[in-house]
Amino acid sequence: MIIVKIGGGAGINVEGAISDLAELKEKFIIIHGANALRDQLAEDLGSPKKTVTSVSGYSSVLTDEKALDIMMMAYAGLKNKRIVELCQQKGINAVGLSGIDGKVIQSKRNKGIRVRENGKLMLLKDFSGKAFSINKELLDLLLKNNYTPVLCVPTIDENNIATNSENDDIVALLQNEFKAEKIIQLIEAPGFLEDKNKPDSLVKEMSQNELEKRENEVEGRMKRKILALRKLFEGGNTTVIISDGRTANPINDALNGKGTTIK
Amino acid sequence: MIIVKIGGGAGINVEGAISDLAELKEKFIIIHGANALRDQLAEDLGSPKKTVTSVSGYSSVLTDEKALDIMMMAYAGLKNKRIVELCQQKGINAVGLSGIDGKVIQSKRNKGIRVRENGKLMLLKDFSGKAFSINKELLDLLLKNNYTPVLCVPTIDENNIATNSENDDIVALLQNEFKAEKIIQLIEAPGFLEDKNKPDSLVKEMSQNELEKRENEVEGRMKRKILALRKLFEGGNTTVIISDGRTANPINDALNGKGTTIK
């Protein structure tokens, strides 16, 4: 089993990735983003992405009702169905599911963002949460019958409300259930970079110890990203490959060791 | 088994329909439209619906690449996921699928529309086709495991390309495979009307013979609609109920004989 995370950047060569996947013998599950598409659609509809700053100084995206509508259109609608269509064209019998479908990805709603408005302290609730459970039964049902699941947000929360969540958490949950031998993450960079502004600073290999060391050296989003990577090893041994999704054959490249390999 | 077709008009009370369905003992499959949502989204994105007139004088909607993108967003994205979310909230473990997913609805691409442009006769090809096959295996797999399929276009054509199709044809294919005892169609009218401009001209009951007679009396879209209704009886006996989707309890009303019943 391979878990494939396809980033939502505009530069990712999805068709190349699906062509590569069609040649594999192993079963796989795809989980994809669509942030570039989502942001563009939000702009086009005159509802650009809203960010709020909490009292503790953290900035985060606000998923209100309209943002959730746009997420459904961009992720579960256009992006998911175009990926499924590509899969079918390459001979992969894919079934696209958002986390709501068959409650395949359940999440716990966030408590809210503490903000100050007109001097008053307020708790701003939105439709975001943390994924905590996967409906493995449904995914197994599909896999055993030779359907390839193609997953995306939104997830579904404890009150059965559609909820935005981080794909990194979903990948960790999938790994916890499926114990995949390989996890491939396609991004818009050559892999894990020593300096994110220097494409030639690729870290070819990393150990779990190194991952932990780096986690203590960074902050913010990067810290969360590294923590998410560390979690992938909690359920046992696996190989995580972070690789460039912009090449002609992104999956083949990843499998041939072109990105960052973490063991 | 009940097949429920939920029309895509803005006035349909989807929440009421799902609440009613949650109380039923029978299994059911939902197929929904989203035309009001699609048309609005197309307007909002500055790509309003295009219609072309063929040389033989017929007017039809042109589904180009952009229209297909919008269809995916409106049908498979926003509408489908909001219906699935409602289902989950009412205790129905729904799984939303477009026709592309697991090739659940296959179609044959239309040959094209014969148009005259600058005096030249041309064949205008678009992404539309006629549904001809259902992946019953996948639907059975879901139904047997207590998942309720919630279906919508696009379908997938013989070259694995996403394709717009008529829901009426899909309902006929579903009926051919599932031999449902009842087929409920929720529309934005009290039922089948003697005169479409007179809401009080409801036809309470109709026989199949009457259906055939009426088919010969009308033309255009109405003829196609009646033909589609007649097809529902080809696989054996069933009860078709065309009923008002705008009431507080649209499904209960339909089952209690408020619309047009065809046996």
Q: A41 and B73 in contact by Cβ < 8 A?
A: yes
The per-residue pLDDT for range B83-131, each reduced to its tens digit, is 999 999 999 999 999 999 999 999 999 999 899 888 899 999 999 999 9
In a domain, B87, yes or no: yes
Query: Does residue A73 have a pLDDT over 80?
Result: yes
* Whole-number pLDDT of residue B225: 86
Please provide the DSSP assignment of A93-116 as one string.
Answer: -EEEEETTGGG-EEEEE---EEEE
Q: Is A161's CB within 8 Å of B89's CB?
A: yes
Domain span at A203? 2-34+65-106+130-262
Inside any domain, residue A58:
no
Q: Between B195 and A175, name the one with better pLDDT.
A: A175
* pLDDT of A222: 80
Could you tell me the pLDDT band of residue B235, with boundaries at 50, 70 and 90? Answer: confident
**Which of A84, A86, A105 to mutate to test binding with chain B, by most B CBs within 10 Å of its CB?**
A84
pLDDT at position A36 is 97
What Å distances lie between residue B121 and A174, B56, B59, CA to CA? 55, 12, 16
pLDDT band at residue B187, thresholds of 50, 70 and 90?
A: very high
The closest of B160, B65, B170, B254 to A78, measured between CA atoms, is: B65
**pLDDT over threshold 80, residue A220:** no
Reported as a pLDDT band with limits 50, 70 and 90, residue B179 is very high
Whether A216 maps to a domain, the answer reads yes
- Measured between CA atoms, how close is B77 to chain A, in angstroms? 3
3-state secondary structure of A22: helix
Nearest C-alpha neighbor of B95 from the set B77, B80, B74: B80
**Contact B77/A78, CB-based, under 8 Å?**
yes
Q: What is the mean pLDDT of residues A103-116?
A: 94
Average pLDDT over residues A171-198: 95
The distance from CA B79 to its chain's CA centroid, rounded to whole angstroms, is: 13
Comparing A151-165, A219-233, B29-43, B187-201, the range with the smallest average pLDDT is: A219-233
Yes or no, beta carbons of A81 and B100 under 8 Å apart: yes
Instruction: Map tokens 């007109």 to a residue.
Output: A118
Contact A190, A250 (CB under 8 A): no
pLDDT in tens, B156-169: 999 999 999 999 99
Q: What is the pLDDT of residue B3?
A: 98
Q: Is the pLDDT of residue A45 over 90?
A: yes
Please give the helix or strand (H or E) that residue B139 lies within, else none: helix B136-144
| Residue of chain A minimizing CA distance to B46 | A44
Maximum mean pLDDT: which of B127-131, B214-218, B220-224: B127-131
Taking contacts as CB-CB distances below 8 angstroms, the residues of chain A near B161 are 85, 89
Evaluate whether residue B224 is within a structural domain: yes
What is the widest separation between alpha-carbon atoms in chain B? Answer: 60
**Per-chain mean pLDDT for chain A:** 95
CA-CA distance, B74 to B91, in Å (whole number)? Answer: 24
Tell whether the model's pLDDT for residue B56 goes beyond 90: no
Q: In this structure, which amino acid lies at residue B142?
A: L
For residue A59, name the pLDDT band (cuts at 50, 70, 90). Answer: confident
| Residue A225 predicted with pLDDT over 90 | no
The pLDDT assigned to B148 comes to 98
Count up the domains in chain B and report the number. Answer: 1
Does residue B45 form part of some domain?
no
> Chain B partners of A45 at a C-beta cutoff of 8 Å?
44-45
Compute the average pLDDT of residues A49-69.
Answer: 90
**Continuous segment of H or E residues that includes residue B28:** strand B28-32
Segment A112-131 mean pLDDT: 92
Is the pLDDT assigned to residue A56 strictly greater than 90? no
The secondary structure of chain A in percent helix, strand, coil, rounded to multiples of 5, reads 35, 30, 35
Which CATH number do you get for residue A9?
A: 3.40.1160.10
The span from the CA of A242 to the CA of A262, in Å, is: 8
- Ramachandran angles phi, psi of A242, nearest 5°: -100, 120
Answer yes or no: are the C-beta atoms of B225 and B167 closer than 8 Å: no
Give the tokens for residue B32.
């929904």
- Greatest mean pLDDT among A49-53, B74-78, B198-202 lies in B74-78
Between B209 and A151, name the one with better pLDDT: A151
A43 located within any domain: no
**pLDDT band for position A117 (50/70/90)?**
confident
Interface of A with B (CB under 8 A): 41, 44-46, 69, 72-78, 80-82, 84-85, 88-89, 93-98, 100-103, 137-138, 141, 145, 147, 154, 156, 159-162
CA A2, distance to chain mean position in Å, is: 15
Chain A positions touching B73 (Cβ under 8 A) are: 41, 73-74, 77-78
Q: Does any domain span residue B94?
A: yes
Q: With respect to residue A204, please indicate whether it lies within any of the assigned structural domains.
A: yes
Task: Output B240 or A224, whichever has higher pLDDT.
Answer: B240
Per-residue pLDDT at B221 exceeds 90: no
Instruction: Give A66's contacts in chain B (Cβ within 8 Å).
Output: none
Residues A245 and A13 sit within 8 Å (Cβ to Cβ): yes
Structure tokens at A163: 């909820």
Q: Where are the alpha helices (DSSP H) in chain A?
A: 14-22, 35-44, 65-71, 80-89, 136-144, 167-178, 208-217, 220-231, 250-255
Task: Report the percent of chain A where pLDDT is more than 70.
Answer: 100
Amino acid A32: pLDDT: 98
Count of CB contacts below 8 A, A vs B?
122
